[in-house]
Structure 1
């Protein structure tokens, strides 16, 4: 992941600007800052779901904004409120089957469509099982197994399900918003261990949070006023520090669109 002078402007100002990132594949990139500081806009722009106003970025060699659709195909969204919310009325199994079906119809090779039904079902089940294992979600431990409704999941279990659904598509970039929202300290530590394990398997992870963990590979810090960071760059290496602007963030989301 590379970004140079990356920025997005809304009607009331810049959601973020002058973003510079250089992160190797298979690393954890954290966007840290308070809610409303433009951090979700930055996450969506780096995954090809919002069009930047200035600068450039590359995700797995694909240039932004020129190749936004291609970046969307290789990036997966875990929990991103308002964009990839789980349906509380559906069960875990229904979410998994739906995602596997969408992946087969729109994310796979057209040559796979004529394959025998039994083979397609087996391949889908293998994708699901692999994703569940990578996300650390043991469905057998849920109250009703895979028939458990999303509304009955604990916060950490719901996060693991969101990550598993994204991993069904075998993305090269996984993005998760509000990672530490409503999590206990113990669950927050588990969530970071989950994302670290995903990164260790070769997938770049982009996560938004209020406070970054000490072992994050790259940290992009945001604040409410967009003023330059007072910390000397040498004191935060190998982290990258930028600022984004709260005032323009809401307008950027409304103007640019999330998909």
Structure 2
């Protein structure tokens, strides 16, 4: 099986507004297929919302973006099919009571159910089992998770995993679907310096294998394309919309492992703005967003687009928790929308 080809990602004037103001605004950057993109900024700067918007899970309010040549928000369903979520709190959390083997088996079965053809489902059971095992082994190898080294091997419960092992498991589950785009939230949260270096090495390896990686972080490596977000400044006191801070998209250094001088050496920079989601500064990944005008109220997918299968490497129950459909005029009422909903909830 050939390695998946990464999806190019581009954004221009990209923004998402929620009921408490702008989560992020005027974000602009470009990343080639197979790039490692670090979304950098403090909590409350709209990092998770940007991650979910770029993977088709939240509807943007302004600007445009393309993922693998698919325009957002018009082709959100198609973007979901080629992207996968690693760990995103509140959206794709691991079940602490389940074992590693149970998580892997469940994800493989769901992927085969929603991503496989009818002919594949009719193949002999032994052949299907062998293919599933091979797919799991490839994903574990890419994520660098040595199941045999765990305390109880495959029977180890998620609650007994170290933070880095849990990250590796989440990435492995996402890679089972062979996505073109992998999104990881808070990848360096609660990691020591040594573990953080290993985590970046993991994501760098995934990108080198052909999958574009978007990673939210608090400390960005120098060899990544960095999108910097800052929380909103105090606005005019109306409490509804905040003035935006600055965002900067930086391309990686041509010598990624060497220290760069403080002055820029010709790397491309673009400026824009980002905002906070609430007064406390916490980012709400599931907060609804609404478009600013009729021009932004694009349908979720093309009218002729087929019913959506489960996004690569994602539990279908988590999709509706993240995708924002705040008003009735945004709700997809087509037959395609109904088919999407049934597929994402596992009832199709």
Q: Structure 2 length as normaliser, TM-score?
A: 0.70
8 Å CA contact 2:36–2:203 kept in 1: the answer is yes
Query: Structure 2 vs 1, CA of residues 205 and 251 (structure 1 numbering), >3 Å: closer, same or farther?
Result: closer
- SS where residue 246 of structure 2 aligns? coil
- SS where residue 190 of structure 1 aligns? helix
- Aligned equivalent of 1:47, options 33, 55, 63: 55
8 Å CA contact 1:29–1:219 kept in 2: the answer is yes
Query: Structure 2 vs 1, CA of residues 224 and 101 (structure 1 numbering), >3 Å: closer, same or farther?
Result: same
Q: Is 1:123 the equivalent of 2:146?
A: no
1:227 matched residue in structure 2: 245
Residue-by-residue CA offset, 1:102-143 (whole Å, 9 max, x unaligned): 000012223211111111111110110000000000000001
Q: Structure 1 length as normaliser, TM-score?
A: 0.94
8 Å CA contact 1:74–1:173 kept in 2: the answer is yes
8 Å CA contact 1:220–1:242 kept in 2: the answer is no
Query: Structure 2 vs 1, CA of residues 240 and 200 (structure 1 numbering), >3 Å: closer, same or farther?
Result: farther
2:288 matched residue in structure 1: 255
1:153 matched residue in structure 2: 161
2:20 matched residue in structure 1: 12
Aligned equivalents of 2:248 and 2:67: distance in 1?
29
Aligned equivalents of 1:59 and 1:230: distance in 2?
19
2:237 matched residue in structure 1: none
Query: Structure 2 vs 1, CA of residues 148 and 40 (structure 1 numbering), >3 Å: closer, same or farther?
Result: same
Residue-by-residue CA offset, 1:171-206 (whole Å, 9 max, x unaligned): 000000001100000000000000000000110000
Q: Is 1:171 the equivalent of 2:171?
A: no
1:201 matched residue in structure 2: 209
Cα deviation, residue 243, structure 1: 3.5
Q: Is 1:34 the equivalent of 2:42?
A: yes
In terms of fraction of residues, the more helix-rich structure is 1
Q: Is 1:94 the equivalent of 2:117?
A: no
Query: Structure 2 vs 1, CA of residues 120 and 224 (structure 1 numbering), >3 Å: closer, same or farther?
Result: same
Which range is displaced more, 207-216 or 221-230?
221-230
Aligned equivalents of 2:66 and 2:117: distance in 1?
24
Question: What's the RMSD between the two structures over aligned residues?
Answer: 2.1
Aligned equivalents of 2:70 and 2:177: distance in 1?
18
Aligned pairs, how many?
258
8 Å CA contact 1:178–1:210 kept in 2: the answer is yes
8 Å CA contact 1:13–1:247 kept in 2: the answer is yes
8 Å CA contact 2:250–2:269 kept in 1: the answer is no
Aligned equivalents of 2:52 and 2:184: distance in 1?
10
2:344 matched residue in structure 1: none
1:80 matched residue in structure 2: 88
- Please list every run of 5 or more consecutive structure 1 residues that lacks an aligned counterpart in the other structure: none
Aligned equivalents of 2:213 and 2:270: distance in 1?
15
- SS where residue 223 of structure 1 aligns? coil
Q: Which protein has greater RCO, CA pairs closer than 8 Å, 6+ apart?
A: 1
Query: Structure 2 vs 1, CA of residues 239 and 172 (structure 1 numbering), >3 Å: closer, same or farther?
Result: farther
Which range is displaced more, 231-240 or 12-21?
231-240
Which range is displaced more, 53-62 or 182-191?
53-62
- Aligned equivalent of 1:142, options 150, 154, 162: 150
Trace 1:179-194 onto structure 2 (pairs within 5 A): 179-194=187-202
Cα deviation, residue 227, structure 1: 2.3
